[in-house]
Amino acid sequence: MRQSEANQSRARARRRILQALYQWQLTDQDPNDIARQFYNDHRLGRTDLAYFSEVFQGVCTEVTALDASFDGYLDRPARTLDPVELSLLRLGTYELQNRFEVPYRVCIDQAIELAKSFGAEQSHRFINGILDRVGRDVALRKAELAKR
């Protein structure tokens, strides 16, 4: 698979992860049931399924720690955030903290693009600001940022 195809496949996975996280937040269904539903009911043919599975399950498993990573940067309690914004912060924070093969800027840019598609009018700015702060706190990202 060429690099651009791989990147598009990952971008499609992130879109589906956002949708699955949104559903999880609103319904409190078991993440395994949601993942099965996505595999059965959605067209995932050109989606990086391994990435979808690993990141979706990872966010669900680490949700408390992820929320704690960005909570200090919020101007309001996380529970009052729009569900799309909260899902994007969780997804972006997970990638910044766990998926070091994905460049810092890509993690944030992908979250911004999803915010522009699914979030409120200015949510992409909010997402950008919070994830940038989170990324600067991730020890292994500091070396990456120092090279810029």
- Show the 3-state SS of 16-30: HHHHHHHHHHHHCCC
User: What pLDDT sits at residue 133?
Assistant: 93
User: How many residues would you count in the chain?
Assistant: 148
State whether the Cα torsion 53-105-23-80 is positive or negative: positive
CB 19 within 8 A of CB 47: no
Position 15 confidence tier, pLDDT thresholds 50, 70, 90: very high
pLDDT of 145 strictly over 80: no
d(CA 148, CA 49): 31
Greater confidence, 146 or 132?
A: 132
Percent of the chain with pLDDT over 70: 95
Which domains are seen in the chain, by residue range? 3-141 (1.10.940.10)
Alpha helices in 72-138, H assignment, sequence order: 83-98, 104-118, 123-137
d(CA 71, CA 89): 10
User: What pLDDT sits at residue 10?
Assistant: 92
DSSP notation for 54-86: HHHHHHHHTHHHHHHHHHTT-SS-GGGS-HHHH
Largest CA distance in the chain: 43
pTM for this structure? 0.91
Position 3 confidence tier, pLDDT thresholds 50, 70, 90: low
Q: In whole angstroms, what separates CA 109 from the centre of its chain?
A: 11
pLDDT of 1 strictly over 60: no
Closest listed residue to residue 129, CA positions, set 47, 52, 70, 45: 70
d(CA 54, CA 80): 27
pLDDT in tens, 41-87: 877 778 899 999 999 999 999 999 999 999 999 988 888 899 999 99
